[in-house]
Amino acid sequence: MENTLFLVCRIGETWLGLPATKVEAVVTLGDVVAVPHAPDAVWGLVSIRSRLLTLIDSSIASGTHSDGTASYMVIVSVDGHGYGLTLDEVDDVVDLTSLQPVPGNLGFGWRLLADQMADQFGRIILIVEPSRIIEAAQSSKSLAA
Amino acid sequence: MDDLLREFVGESLDMMEAVASDLVAWEQNPSDRSGLDQIFRTIHTVKGSSSFFDLPRVTAIAHGAEELLDALRTRKCEPDHTLIASILAAFDRIRLLVNAIANDGAEPVGDDADVIALLLAGVRSFDHGAKQLSVPSDEDLLPLPEQATGAIADGIATREVPAEWRSVRVPLELLDEVMNGASDLVLARNEVAAALRAEGLDPVNIAPFERLSGLLGSLRGSVSKMRMVPLRQMFAPLPRLVRQLSAELNKQVRLVTDGGEVEIDREVIEALRDPIIHVLRNAIDHGIEPPADRASIGKAATATIRISGRQVGNRIFICIEDDGAGLAEQGLIKRAIAAGHLTAERAARLSSDAINELVFLPGLSTAEAVTGISGRGVGMDVVKANVEKLGGAIRINSSAGAGVSIVFDVPMTLTIISALAIDIAGCEYAVPRSAVEEVLLMSSDSVQRVKSGGAQMVRVRGRLLPLVVIEDLLGIEPAKPSETGDTNDTNDTNDRALVLCRLSGMVSIALEVPDIRDHAELVIKPLPPILLAAGLYNGFSLPDNGRPMLVLDVEGIARRANANCALEDALESQIADAIDDCQAADKWLCFQTIGSANISAVPMASIDRLVDLPASQIHRAGQRLVASIGETLIPIHDDGLIIPSGDSRIRMIILSDGARKMLLPVRNVLEITALKPEMLASVDDDMLIGLTMFDGDIVEMLDVYRLLGQAAGPISAGKLTPALPQRVIWIVEQNGSSWARSFLMPSLAAAGYAVQFTNSAAQVSDPDAIVIIPCDEAHQDVGDIGNVAMLELHRGNKVRTIAAYDRSSLIAALQDDADQNVVAAKPSPRKRKGA
């Protein structure tokens, strides 16, 4: 059976669950070095414990464009590269078992990220694979004119 | 070869041990046949490599064992003690032989008929159908393997493998882990250094810390060495590939490898494997002619492909040469036009080098039909992109009928580069040293900013380069002088630096940067795809200060700054445009030669391109100077040229008449302009066509055809493919004038005509012949040019008058005549009326 533990966190007004096995760490945001001409959703570069990470602005990648400034990031590895995904709030690691498909009227950005969701005591949690966020970030338009 | 053999020994000993235990495992558990395939593959490998090393004894045994194993494998039979024993005996014999090879460097003399007979008897037992029936009885066979093993009749003592031949085989992932660990240690050390500094301590003064740094340095060195593998690892599978491909395509190809001992980063090898296989496939499929065709043109029926590696500094050059037909230039041009990369007019004026470069354009494949071997999917554009991703370059050289050579120029290692750290508004970026040609201050006397048509350029010692201001390119607000405090009083541009960057090919750009911090050895980490997509960076790094640093991709910067300037430097593109221009015929390039204050000019039509040649590529050979460009030697017009030392570069014009090339060193390129001679050269000064005035200076108009004739020598037969079958042209010689011989004849000869001299036009018997008669009196009717000598061009009943210096009109007229002849000659051959 698949692992049912998820890190529940918030981007804008949306709660999402990242598979706990995919999450390496959650840290507070530090210094970010900008990367000119990278896609919009790339916030910049950060170094955490002598590791270089590409910081993805999850609110842009998900099309949320929340105005709240993210203060955390979750560290994930995709295809051997380390990424930080910004988060507005981190709740807890919870066990989510009864997953159901997302409705079709999900916002466009989220539709690219989530196929399933969970209803946790009335709070809807979208189940998101970190690699999907990075894919979405990659297709976010570049700053280049 | 020693290294190769050493590897073979190490590998075979390991393998023999492993397969022996696999074999025994299968015997014990016959249902698990997975090991059997592995054993078969292993023994097949041993057979292959031993035949490569010319070790006939090992090959013969391995062959026998392979046959028996194949039978066991395909007939799905149960393990049989006798058969297993004979295979094990074979393995043991191979081990003994390999041991002997390790000690003596050669295969001992001897006979393995005993072992092989056992194996073949086993195979035969299958051929007879029911194996149980025909297997020789145990009494016959059982003792034999023991005998065979023990006999070693040829006196191969079981000796220890010499220590230096011993090696440990490590999985690649583990090696990567160690490498990453070493890199991370360096980074962690940097963090400690930063933390110490934050505490107000100078790490340099702390002895244990210094010792740690030293140890880390040497650890990193050894780990980098571990990552290095000899090129032969990449070469090893190629002979087989070539054999297979050539068999499929009915071609005969011999592969020669050279330089297999050159060591190169495993990652580079991995990235090069596919491109090199692709190039090999192309060579066999498209380049090499079928054996019959080869024989008919006097080539050896078996083609040779040579793949060689050599190391120059920390660059590796891998060259793949074939002796096939060369690139199908016309096909390439057609496809490039069809793909919209090129207009027909432009194509007509491309130099042959430029035509070869077309191969690298996307969507071009020279294959007439897509075959199963090549010409599908990936093209040379992908190959080029992959090589460039490595920080390498690829060059192609083709000569019709003689073959193609492709050179991969790649860095030896990817992980540690030496770089310039530049500071842009508080962020550090790195520029790889390998791309940096020179660093200057903007305030230097030799740097001059130029603007034209909205383009920013700099002139550096007479060289015009497109200028890219890094802040503009990256869209970063330049740091305000007031923020940096004490730089207030200095002129902003004076502090700035100019980094001249070499792009692939002979092209450079100038990168204006705010400040150069220092040189750094950086551990480069690969970028995630999301950042590669920006096209401006090719890696990142975490230096001492703990601030992530992006490595700028100079090619990418040039591309973004202006797609065209990435391909040609400003002057070159101007020249290319002028060459494109239909008016190029009367455009001349004015320049100053080295060692003379005079201004000289050569016709644009004769210019192939401009190059900046490093002095190291110039050689004095006897009385003449030659330069190596790519894989060819080109003579240099030697006008007392002093070869500078070191790695300084000399700007040269490549002059070409389509068949021959030569280099003309220039000090300074001045202008492209229309020129007409105001004064024709005297007969004695045979390197000049004439003199003219330009901007108040006297300009010497050089006779390129004489120059080429002098420097490059006569056109070698076979090199020149004249546009027409060679035609005879008669020149009527005037008394006492050698002008026709010294000027006209070389021009005509260069254009592919055979020239004959005569005293009178009446002596020419062929009614269709072309006769040129220089006129004694100057004609007046040539517009504003004034008095010039004229030529009369007679052909049949037609007479044309052409200015004597006007070579291009003359050649065009000759060409015209020939073309008309094709149409007109057939219905009614004209009669010559007189001349």
Q: What is the mean pLDDT of each run of 10 residues along chain B (835 residues)?
A: 71 77 77 76 81 82 84 74 82 85 80 83 68 40 40 45 63 77 78 83 84 86 79 82 83 86 83 85 84 85 88 79 83 77 73 76 55 50 77 80 86 75 88 83 84 78 83 77 43 71 71 84 81 85 82 84 47 49 60 77 78 78 75 75 66 76 80 72 64 79 77 49 58 70 71 75 74 66 54 77 73 68 40 40
Exposed e or buried b per residue across B229-252, where buried means at least 16 C-beta atoms within 10 angstroms of its C-beta: bbbbbbbbebbeebeebbeebebb
pLDDT at B353: 73
Pull the structure tokens for residue B8: 């073979």
Query: Would you list which residues of chain B are within 8 Å, Cβ to Cβ, of chain A?
Result: 184, 187-188, 190-191, 427, 474-476, 525-531, 533-537, 540-542, 546-550, 560
CB contact under 8 A, B534 and A142: yes
Terminal-to-terminal C-alpha distance of chain B: 73
pLDDT at A124: 92
pLDDT at B128: 60
CB contact under 8 A, B530 and A34: no
pLDDT-based confidence at A54, cuts 50/70/90?
A: very high
User: Would you say B785 and B803 are in contact if contact means Cβ atoms under 8 Å apart?
Assistant: yes
B-interface mutation test, from A31, A32, A33, most B Cβ less than 10 A away: A33
d(CA B761, CA B773): 8
Of A37, A47, A83, the CB nearest to B528: A83
Pull the structure tokens for residue B705: 């055809």
Q: Is the pLDDT of residue A130 over 90?
A: yes
User: Would you say B456 and B402 are in contact if contact means Cβ atoms under 8 Å apart?
Assistant: no
Please tell me which residue of chain B has the smallest CA distance to A54: B528
A110 compared with B703, residue with greater pLDDT: A110
pLDDT at B73: 76
Rounded to 5°, angle at Cα B214 from B208 and B215: 90
d(CA B237, CA B48): 10
Q: Is the pTM of this model over 0.90?
A: no
pLDDT at B398: 82
d(CA B313, CA B305): 26
d(CA B540, CA B747): 57
d(CA B233, CA B322): 21
* Residues with Cβ within 8 Å of residue B621, at least 6 apart in sequence: none
Which of B808, B347, B348 minimizes the C-alpha distance to B585? B808
Q: Which of A40-44, A127-131, B119-123 has the lowest mean pLDDT?
A: B119-123
CB contact under 8 A, A37 and B184: no
User: Would you say B657 and B606 are in contact if contact means Cβ atoms under 8 Å apart?
Assistant: yes
pLDDT at B663: 85
CB contact under 8 A, A50 and B526: no
Residue A99's φ and ψ, nearest 5 degrees, are -95, 145
Angstroms from A116 CA to nearest CA on chain B: 26
Rounded to 5°, angle at Cα B62 from B59 and B68: 140
Angstroms from A99 CA to nearest CA on chain B: 31
Sequence letter at residue B338: A
Q: Predicted ipTM? A: 0.89
Q: Answer whether A23 touches B (CB < 8 Å).
A: no
d(CA B52, CA B65): 18
pLDDT-based confidence at A23, cuts 50/70/90?
A: very high
pLDDT-based confidence at A141, cuts 50/70/90?
A: low
Rounded to 5°, angle at Cα B139 from B136 and B145: 80
Angstroms from B210 CA to nearest CA on chain A: 19
| Cβ within 8 Å of B, A 106-135 | 134
